[in-house]
Amino acid sequence: MSTSALDVVEFLLTTSVYSSDRARDENDLPPQIRRVYWTNGTDAAENGQHRSGIERPLAATEQLAREATGVADPWGAVSDLMFTDRDDFSSTLTLTQRDLAERWYAERADDERFLENPTLAAHFEGREDVGERVDYETALERNRPIQADRVWIDGLLAEYFGDDEDDQEMLDLVDVRAPEDVEITLDDLVLTANQEAEIEKIAKAIEHRDYLASIGLREIGKLLFVGPPGTGKTSVARALAHDMDLPFVEVKLSMITSQYLGETAKNVDKTFEVAKRLSPCILFIDEFDFVAKTRRSDEHAALKRAVNTLLKSIDDVSLIEDDVLLIGATNHPDQLDAAAWRRFDEIVNFPKPDSGMRADILRVITYAMDIDEFDPEAIAETTEGLTGSDLRMVMREAVLEALTENRTTLTQADLVAAVEDFEERDNLKNMDMIDGDHEALVAGGSTGKASDGGEEAGADGHAHDHSHDDGHAHDHSHEH
């Protein structure tokens, strides 16, 4: 019996049971199945309103079966089973004897399959042929909620923003990711003890927010991540979104408050409105030090109004009441004033990694590499002051240098040489160049932008694969 046959039979059983059992809703369908049935249509009778959802009955065509299961030839996988049939005209697959299909499936599906499919778990629970290995509540708890799906998020954004050109421009300033778009998890990170403790607290707060509301504890769920570029602030925020199945709304303040000068306060309002409509979600505000810079400077009055709007919006949003976890991030905590600091109930420090953490980061980065006599502790001792993002750059240099010699196996000497090369380039970057030309030689073209860009392009800006990791509180997942 092939896995393909089991996958297709599960798909057919799920669509059949879901179509007939009105007690089941979208959250009972496994994500890989519900995404192929989600519709983002527009109902003319409702004045052009977007109406998203899954409509019964679920037609099990070969194309939909292929998309949901990944089986290239769904009919070929089940054509020899006595309880399956195919309509040649519509290419629809059907179960001619569902009770026989259920017995066939129950004999072959393991516990994990049932726990990944709440629709079938509810249908099979209590039957003698599956015993106690099927539990609907456990399956539902493990299943990603519909609000975390890309199709649901896209449908909601289409409903909210519609076809208005100004709204579409605003949406371009906000990066909205579904948990399935984030290829990094908390298990992929090397965290400090303090970071782990803070993450555990916020996870418990999200899980028990009804209890917190009942006892009147509402001022919770606003975190500020502080630390140098490349130490993983954005990586941790995105990993939280992935692991907690929460949409991730990211905004950089410099973009929101500079692209459309006359609309800055409106843009800030819309950012928070997007987050509230996508709730439960994480709203991640990068470059938070921009608030203090604007308040202290002689910037345009519109920018100052936008900052005041931002601070008021932070006061008004709540994890307990709005299901929005707010995370701010800054590379320059020294630039924040009291008005900014008091908006957050938790401060999470992202320091540069010590020697032990650098060694752990190197192990993470190199897990898929072939390195002769690899000694991460020795490399860690020579990389004092480097962040996870820096270590990623070091490893990239070592790999590329080896490839110039047609080698895919690295040596410890390659890594030592790459560290020396990185330090030499870093020293050149920090030297006083020809007067008037220094800024032009620094990536980003403006003072301070090189370090900010390092975080955006490194661990704190994108997820990376195991061979291009960014370090402690840094990810080692696939690069976007």
pLDDT tens figures, 203-227 = 899 888 889 989 988 778 999 999 9
Q: Domain holding 410: CATH number?
A: 1.10.8.60
Q: Are residues 186 and 283 in the same domain?
A: yes
Q: Does 237 share its domain with 321?
A: yes
Of 108, 143, 178, which closes a domain? 143
Contact residues for 124 (Cβ-Cβ < 8 A; gap 6+): 102, 106, 114, 130, 134
**DSSP one-letter string for 309-347:** HHHHHHHH--HHHH-EEEEEEES-GGG--HHHHTT-SEE
Identify the domain containing residue 192 by its residue range.
148-349
Mean pLDDT value of segment 421-428: 80
Does residue 258 lie in a domain region? yes
Same structural domain for residues 26 and 109? Answer: yes
For residue 1, the tally of other CB atoms under 10 A from its CB is 10
In a domain, 476, yes or no: no
Which of 349, 382, 403 is a domain's end point? 349
Query: What's the pTM value of the predicted model, to 2 decimals?
Result: 0.76
Give pLDDT tens digits for 72-89.
999 999 999 999 999 999
- The total of structural domains in the chain comes to 3
Residues 174 and 131 in one domain: no
Distance of CA 480 to the CA centre of its chain: 11
Residues 63 and 110 in one domain: yes
Sign of CA dihedral 67, 123, 77, 84: negative
Residues 161 and 278 in one domain: yes
For residue 479, being part of any structural domain is answered with: no
Q: Where are the beta strands (DSSP E) in 337-419?
A: 346-349, 370-372, 409-411
Burial grade of 250 (CB within 10 A; 0-12, 13-18, 19 or more): buried
Helices (H) and strands (E) in the chain — how many of each? 25, 12
% of the chain at pLDDT higher than 90 = 52
**168 in any annotated domain:** yes
What is the C-alpha separation between 28 and 135, in angstroms, rounded?
13
Q: Which one of 101, 116, 143 terminates a domain? A: 143
Q: How confident is the model at residue 429 (pLDDT cuts 50, 70, 90)?
A: low
Statement: residue 42 has pLDDT above 50: no
Tell me, yes or no, whether 216 lies in a domain: yes
Amino acid in the structure at residue 88: D
97 and 205 assigned to the same domain:
no
324 and 254 together in one domain: yes
Q: Are residues 298 and 369 in the same domain?
A: no
**Chain segment 218-262, per-residue pLDDT in tens:** 778 999 999 999 899 999 999 999 999 999 999 877 666 555 555
21 plus 132 within the same structural domain: yes
